[in-house]
Amino acid sequence: MRTFLIALVVTSFLGAQSSFCQTHDTLVFEDVTVVPMDKVETLPHRDVLVQDGIIRSVDQHEPQKHWPVNSIVVAGAGKYLLPGFSDMHIHTYFGDEQQLKLYIVNGITTVLNLSGSPKLLEWKAKIAAREILGPTFYTSGPILDGDPPTNPSRTVVKNRVDAEREVDEQARRGYDFIKPYSALSQDAYEGIVDAAKRNHIRLVGHVSWNVGVRRTIDSGQDAIAHVEELYRFFVDRHLNPPPDTQPDPKTIPALVKELREHNVWVITTLSANTNILKQATNLNELIRSPEVKFIPRAYLDEYKTDDSSYAKRSSDWVLENKIMVPFLLKLAASLQTAGVHLMAGTDATNPIQIPGISLHDELEQLVQSGFTPYEALVTSTRNPRLFLGRFQDAGTVTPGKVADLVLLDGNPLESITNTRKISGVAVRGQWFDRGHLEKIKQDLVAHFAVE
């Protein structure tokens, strides 16, 4: 009798699991509207066949077609299938690896972490081996900063010798990128650039105060980690100008020319700047948001008592940001119009930037700044894969691509807010329906409440 009860419990558990997350070899989206993201179009009434985690075909819908035995068939009528999203600037300050699930439930299937550690290399390997659930994970090494560093957690490189040695070591350990930071000396920065070229590893980071925007671009840095970093081209806040100093939009074309000539990518993070300003001016309203349940309790408690939090900044600092944030939206739109390569990123887990949710905020910020919905989506689908050198693998809904996919209940080309209406997510072909995504959310809320 005891054996029978155990078997019954196990069978019930497995049955409950399979109703949420199914990993059979064949997945079919039947009669779905495809948003392929290789051009501005939708393809209605399509059958999308996924086998072994790869999109095999995107064909006109055939009613009552027979699919392979044990196929998972997803009813796609009235729904929209597009590539999984990417957040190209995240951090992992929310604690353990459970935070990675926040990306999955929000349709994000690829991330770039920009503050690495040996622990995160382990997470990356475990995700690839399907030992833990998370998006495809790229990471820089530990942040390289000057002396004194902007934060005690940074890795200090005082000069060229330190810088080259550290880049050599990070490349040896298998990090994907090197991240230079704000307080680097010019000598140390030049050492980072030279060592990165020698090790064939790319640079994604800040603009050092001692180097400046033009020299950073001219050096061959592959990507600027925030549009905000380019603000120094217009107003160098590190030099303490009057807080009401206004940037001159007439100088934007000169910056655009530099970025295009050197093929430098820019990560947007507009939502981070908007969020920071909200924290400084209306923190209580932000903390009352229902989305705060996805922030670990200990993290939020620490933030509330942090004397350096944005809510406790000076009135001059607030004025500077009230001038800067609208200008950054204007700048991002100008970069897009001029054809500068852009990627969506959010600085997730920096204060009250909630993983996953912040990416949808970012897309809406881009549209608010003047992007079309398609242009905003490109920054989170096609462009990240182009930058990563993996466009042959993913980034569009076309045969031969990895099945990193998100199924929406509304057309995102009509309204970017429809990216939040997630019906299901495929992660390298593994299907998570709405029921499973909601169960993961519930579990995360419980986890973060005690973490």
Which ranges of 220-269 would DSSP assign to H, the alpha helix?
A: 252-261
Nearest Cα neighbor of 195 from 160, 222, 230 is: 160
Judged against a pLDDT cut of 80, whether residue 286 lies above it is answered with yes
CA separation for the pair 203, 9 (Å, rounded)? 51
Judged against a pLDDT cut of 80, whether residue 5 lies above it is answered with no
Judged against a pLDDT cut of 70, whether residue 348 lies above it is answered with yes
Give the pairing type, strands 177-178 and 155-156: unpaired
The CA–CA distances, whole Å, from 378 to 269, 342, 343, 384 equal 15, 9, 8, 8
Tell me the backbone φ, ψ of residue 289, rounded to 5 degrees. -60, 140
Within 10 Å of residue 292's Cβ, how many Cβ atoms? 14
Give 23 or 137, the one with higher predicted confidence: 137
Find where tokens 């990416």 sit. 359
Averaged pLDDT, 225-238: 97
Which ranges of 21-148 would DSSP assign to H, the alpha helix?
A: 101-105, 118-128
Binned at pLDDT 50, 70 and 90, residue 304 comes out as confident
> Burial level of 426, CB count in 10 A (0-12/13-18/19+)?
buried
CA separation for the pair 140, 198 (Å, rounded)? 17
In contact, 238 and 209? CB cutoff 8 Å: yes
Judged against a pLDDT cut of 50, whether residue 2 lies above it is answered with no
Give the pairing type, strands 405-408 and 80-83: antiparallel
Element (H, E) at 122: helix 118-128
Structural domain boundaries in the chain: 23-83+400-450, 85-388
**CATH number of this structure's domain 85-388, picked from the four choices 3.20.20.140, 3.40.50.620, 3.40.605.10, 3.40.50.2020:** 3.20.20.140
Tokens of 76: 């796609």
Averaged pLDDT, 10-29: 54
Amino acid letter for position 207:
V
Q: What one-character DSSP code corresponds to residue 68?
A: P
pLDDT (tens digit per residue) in 149-207:
999 999 999 999 999 999 999 999 999 999 999 999 999 999 999 999 999 999 999 99
Nearest Cα neighbor of 79 from 363, 378, 397, 358 is: 397
Binned at pLDDT 50, 70 and 90, residue 351 comes out as confident
Query: Hey, is 430 helix, strand or coil?
Result: strand
Judged against a pLDDT cut of 60, whether residue 407 lies above it is answered with yes
Averaged pLDDT, 118-134: 97
Averaged pLDDT, 19-30: 72
Judged against a pLDDT cut of 70, whether residue 226 lies above it is answered with yes
Q: What is the pTM of this model?
A: 0.94
Helix, strand, coil share (%) of the chain residues, nearest 5: 45, 20, 35
Q: pLDDT > 70: what percent of the chain?
A: 95
Q: 23-83+400-450 — its CATH code?
A: 2.30.40.10
Within 10 Å of residue 3's Cβ, how many Cβ atoms? 7
Judged against a pLDDT cut of 90, whether residue 21 lies above it is answered with no
The CA–CA distances, whole Å, from 366 to 122, 227, 234, 249 equal 33, 12, 21, 18
**What is the residue-averaged pLDDT of the chain?**
93
Predicted confidence at residue 308, as pLDDT, reads 83
Beta bridge partners of 59: 47
CA 94 to chain centre: 15
Find where tokens 């990306």 sit. 103
399 prior amide bond cis, ω within 30: no
Predicted confidence at residue 4, as pLDDT, reads 31
